[in-house]
Amino acid sequence: MNMMNQIRNTNEPNRALQPLILAIETSSRVGSVALALGAELLGQATFSAPLRHSAEIFGAIAGLLSRAGYGPSDLRQVHISAGPGSFTGLRIAVAAAKAMHLAGGVRIVAVDCLDVIAANAKDVPSATAFQWNSEDSPAPRRLATVLDAKRGQFFTAVYEYSRDIHGPASEPTPDGPGYRIPAPADGDWRKTLPDCLLSAADLRDRFANPDEPILVAGDGLLHHRSQFEVEGIQILDPALWSPQATGVLLLGRQKAASDRFSDPLTLVPFYLRGPEVTLRKRA
């Protein structure tokens, strides 16, 4: 079951009472937006080319609303990927969310971009060729998500597979991010290394283990895949690399359900480090 179906198949009563939710994902190279009515996915749009965030975001949003028969005033929540990631992309998402709040009181939910990528890896048994349900499986139980942070570094987080064989996946904890990140076989991805900056060599040295290989996904592989192609690292299919607006919805809805909305006055992008500034030389 893909992520779209997981959102759409959640059965919630009183459809007319569900909030209209817009999700924005512009933290990576290729941006996307999605529209949902409660748990029902109404549509999604991926921008036509990399780095087209500012040129296409508002047209894509208007198109989604129009096709679903709604207008901007009908929006009740906006869920955004607040970082880490592209400095420009993060600013665009935060600015758009704040503008919607000021114009119509839209409530804001911010989620972590690296967690959104991790949510892509919830259906990967065929790619990894092992049994998620087996407690004795020697297969990968860890996942790293990577985005290119330039200067030879990557925005990185590491997760460990967790599954309660005696019951359903765990609920989000009060001191956690406000959501569970779904993994195969009704498991969770639990973050064990918080968002940080690592070089490819750092990640290889710390986590590449032939006896317990680690899965890796993320747009950071786009131009640097060869740096991660070593024994003990298993690179997931490129279709799972990019964060998607539907993933923002998947995590954001859980956070909204526990009333963990962002304060629009204090909301800022999660850069993890300051932007690189180049000064012009005077003639």
* pLDDT score recorded for residue 18: 93
Do residues 141 and 104 both lie within one domain? no
Rounded CA gap, 110 and 24, in Å?
10
Mark whether 163 and 87 lie in a shared domain: no
Is the pLDDT at 4 greater than 50, yes or no? no
- 278, part of any domain: no
Residues 129 and 222 in one domain: yes
Q: Does residue 276 lie in a domain region?
A: no
Q: 272 and 194 in contact (C-beta within 8 Å)? A: no
* Residue-level pLDDT at 131: 52
Name residues whose C-beta falls within 8 Å of residue 217's C-beta, 6 or more positions apart in sequence: 117, 118, 120, 121, 143, 144, 145, 146, 235, 236, 240, 241
Residue range 61-75, pLDDT digits in tens: 999 999 999 999 999
Domain-embedded: residue 264: no
Average pLDDT over residues 188-205: 96
Position 196 scores a pLDDT of: 96
Q: Is residue 191 part of a domain?
A: yes
Instruction: Check residue 105 and report its DSSP letter.
Output: -
**pLDDT score of 84:** 96
Residue whose tokens read 């750092």 = 202
Mean per-residue pLDDT, 101-124: 94
User: Does the pLDDT value for residue 163 go beyond 60?
Assistant: yes
d(CA 117, CA 58): 23
Q: How many residues does the chain have?
A: 283
Say if residue 8's pLDDT is above 70: no
Selection from 203, 7, 207, 247 nearest residue 113 by Cα? 247
pTM of the model: 0.86
| Residue 230 lies inside a defined structural domain of this protein | yes
The predicted structure's pLDDT at residue 176: 81
Same domain, 67 and 29: yes
Residues 57, 139 share a domain = no
78 plus 128 within the same structural domain: no
pLDDT of residue 166: 47
Helix (H, G, I), strand (E, B) or coil at 234: strand
- Indicate if 134 and 186 belong to the same structural domain: yes
Whether residues 61 and 129 share a domain: the answer is no
User: Residue 275: inside a domain, yes or no?
Assistant: no
Domain that holds residue 128: 115-240
pLDDT mean across residues, the chain: 86
Q: What are phi and psi of 214, to 5 degrees?
A: -110, 135
Q: Where is average pLDDT lowest: 11-20, 190-199, 215-224?
A: 11-20
- Nearest Cα neighbor of 172 from 252, 263, 84, 79 is 252
Is residue 113 pLDDT above 60, yes or no? Answer: yes
User: Which position has the higher pLDDT, 73 or 276?
Assistant: 73
Tell me if 194 is assigned to some domain.
Answer: yes
- Is the Cα dihedral 173, 175, 179, 185 positive or negative? negative
Count up the domains in the chain and report the number: 2
Task: Average the pLDDT over each of 75-79, 224-228, 277-281 and give the range with the smallest value.
Answer: 277-281
On whether the CB atoms of residues 184 and 124 are closer than 8 A, the answer is yes
Tokens representing 267 are 């909301």
pLDDT band at 141 (very low <50, low <70, confident <90, very high): confident
With bands split at pLDDT 50, 70 and 90, how would you rate the model's confidence at 48?
A: confident
Q: 62 φ, ψ to 5°?
A: -60, -40
- The answer on 105 and 15 residing in a single domain is yes
* 71 and 150 part of one domain: no
Which pLDDT score, from 0 to 100, does residue 280 have?
A: 54
Pick the closest to residue 164 from 177, 180, 144 (CA basis): 180
Instruction: Using the predicted structure, report yes or no on whether residue 145 has a pLDDT greater than 70.
Output: yes
d(CA 143, CA 158) in angstroms, rounded, equals 6
Do 192 and 108 belong together in one domain?
Answer: no
Of 4-18, 41-55, 205-219, the range with the highest mean pLDDT is: 205-219
Domain containing residue 92: CATH number: 3.30.420.40
Q: Pairing between strand 77-81 and 107-111?
A: parallel
Round to whole Å and give the CA distance between 118 and 183. Answer: 8
**pLDDT at position 125 over 80:** no
193 and 120 in one domain?
A: yes
pLDDT at 13: 53
- Sequence-distant (≥ 6) Cβ neighbours of residue 150 within 8 angstroms: 276
Do you find a cis peptide bond into 194, omega within 30 degrees of 0?
no
In a domain, 271, yes or no: no
Average pLDDT rounded to a whole number, residues 179-203: 94
